[in-house]
């Protein structure tokens, strides 16, 4: 819907609940109703508030907020669908036949939408997950002479699209030097892969050391300078429960150390064996 999001609906988006919520248009307000959304199509939302299912015409529905099921981010094997109206849904694609997307959301709601209303569809593999899609269990930046900067998901630490040499990357993590990011390997992944380097936004400056640890064991240590080409890495993290990405300063303290862990991802090979 055009215009700013209604405050009550915006607030509901930030406050997960254990029931689905549907916001129904009244004459001068929105009425939130809790219950179970059973299906959504072009014409109706099938909804059961607890006293029996009913169909609500789509034109009367301002928006829906699905119940939080499981941990946020547990979407392996599902697809993230972005629709033309700005809404996003996680679920498993049931069909793409006859010009329509049929999707079953994470909490089991059947959604049907015309294919031309789908802006993007991204599949999350059960064998790969980008670390920028995960929440770190620990995140620290300890600057020497520069200001403290938060790590960036899918951006350089300067807030731009990541660029190493002439290559740009849509996925990855940007940090400043003397940073620590730790991630739980609770999916049983056995490899970590990435392309590392100092972002091109520094114009060839910078000097830092990339380090990977698994359960406290150092697995990789690579010194990288701003003029170096991108460097692909792949390390064995088999059996580890915690993987830590560290970037230490090189020469020139932490000036221009805009380090990119581009395309950094966990990988799981068949039967736990390296491919």
What DSSP assignment string belongs to 146-184? S-----EESS-TTSS-EEETTEEESSEEEEESSEEEEEE
CATH number at residue 38: 2.30.30.100
- Interior/surface letters 68-92, b for 16+ CB within 10 angstroms, e for the rest: eeeeeeebeebbebebeeeeebbbe
- Least confident range from 11-15, 143-147, 198-202, 235-239: namely 143-147
Residues 52 and 153 in one domain: no
Q: 219-225, long-range: CB within 8 Å, 24+ apart, which pairs? A: 222/196, 223/250, 224/196, 224/197, 224/198, 224/259, 225/198, 225/250
Residues 137 and 266 in one domain: yes
User: Which range scores top for mean pLDDT: 47-51, 121-125, 250-254?
Assistant: 47-51
Q: Are 257 and 120 in contact (CB under 8 A)?
A: no
* Tokens matching residue 273: 């064996």
Computed over every residue of the chain, the mean pLDDT equals 86
| Confidence at 16, pLDDT banded by 50, 70, 90 | low
Residues 142 and 82 in one domain: no
Size of the chain, expressed as the number of residues it contains: 275
Instruction: Decide: helix, strand or coil at residue 186.
Output: coil
Interstrand relation of 30-40 and 110-114 (parallel, antiparallel or unpaired):
parallel
CATH number at residue 260: 2.60.120.1060
Domain final position from 68, 97, 123: 123
Residues 60 and 147 in one domain: no
pLDDT greater than 50 at residue 223: yes
Residues 111 and 26 in one domain: yes
Residues 216 and 250 in one domain: yes
pTM equals 0.62
pLDDT in tens, 78-96: 888 888 876 778 888 898 8
Maximum pairwise Cα distance, the chain: 69
Per-residue pLDDT at 28 = 84
Per-residue pLDDT at 107 = 76
In a domain? residue 261: yes
- Which residue is listed with tokens 């936004």? 201
Q: Which residue range(s) make up the domain with 15?
A: 7-123
In a domain? residue 89: yes
Other CB atoms within 10 A of residue 248 CB: 18
- 18 to each of 34, 52, 89, 108, 132, how far by Cα in Å? 9, 19, 17, 14, 26
- Which residue is listed with tokens 């996925």? 171
Domain final position from 123, 150, 169: 123
Nearest to 141 by CA among 56, 223, 70, 208: 208
- The mean pLDDT of 151-164, rounded to a whole number, is 93
| Confidence at 123, pLDDT banded by 50, 70, 90 | confident
In a domain? residue 165: yes
pLDDT greater than 50 at residue 269: yes
Domain final position from 123, 153, 171: 123
User: Residue 198 and residue 202: Cα distance in Å, rounded?
Assistant: 8
- Interior/surface letters 159-184, b for 16+ CB within 10 angstroms, e for the rest: eeebbbeeeebebbbbbbbbbbbebe
Indicate the Cα dihedral angle 46, 50, 51, 53, nearest 10°: 10
Report the domain count for the chain. Answer: 2
């Amino acid at each position: 819907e055009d215009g700013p999001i209604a405050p009550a609906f915006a607030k509901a988006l930030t406050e997960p609940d254990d029931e689905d919520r549907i916001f129904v248009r009244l004459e001068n307000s929105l009425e939130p109703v809790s219950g179970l959304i059973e299906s959504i199509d072009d014409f109706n939302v099938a909804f059961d508030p607890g006293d029996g299912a009913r169909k609500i015409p789509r034109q009367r529905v301002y928006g829906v907020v699905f119940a939080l099921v499981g941990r946020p981010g547990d979407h392996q094997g599902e697809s993230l669908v972005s629709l033309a109206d700005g809404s996003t849904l996680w679920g498993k694609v049931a069909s793409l036949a006859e010009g329509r997307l049929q999707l079953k959301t994470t909490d089991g709601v059947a959604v049907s939408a015309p294919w031309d209303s789908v802006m993007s569809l991204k599949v999350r593999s059960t064998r790969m997950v980008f670390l920028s899609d995960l929440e770190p269990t620990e995140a620290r930046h300890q600057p020497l002479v520069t200001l403290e900067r938060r790590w960036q998901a899918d951006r350089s630490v300067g807030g731009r699209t990541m660029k190493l040499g002439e290559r740009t990357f849509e996925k990855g993590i940007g940090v400043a030097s003397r940073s620590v990011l730790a991630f739980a390997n609770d999916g049983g992944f056995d490899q970590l892969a990435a392309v590392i380097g100092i972002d091109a936004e520094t114009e060839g400056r910078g000097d830092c050391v990339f380090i990977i640890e698994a359960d406290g064991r150092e697995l990789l240590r690579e010194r990288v300078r701003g003029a170096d080409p991108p460097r692909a890495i792949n390390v064995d993290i088999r059996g580890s429960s915690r993987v830590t990405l560290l970037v230490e300063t090189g020469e020139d303290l932490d000036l221009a150390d805009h380090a990119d862990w581009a395309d950094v991802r966990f990988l799981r090979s068949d039967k736990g064996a390296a491919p």
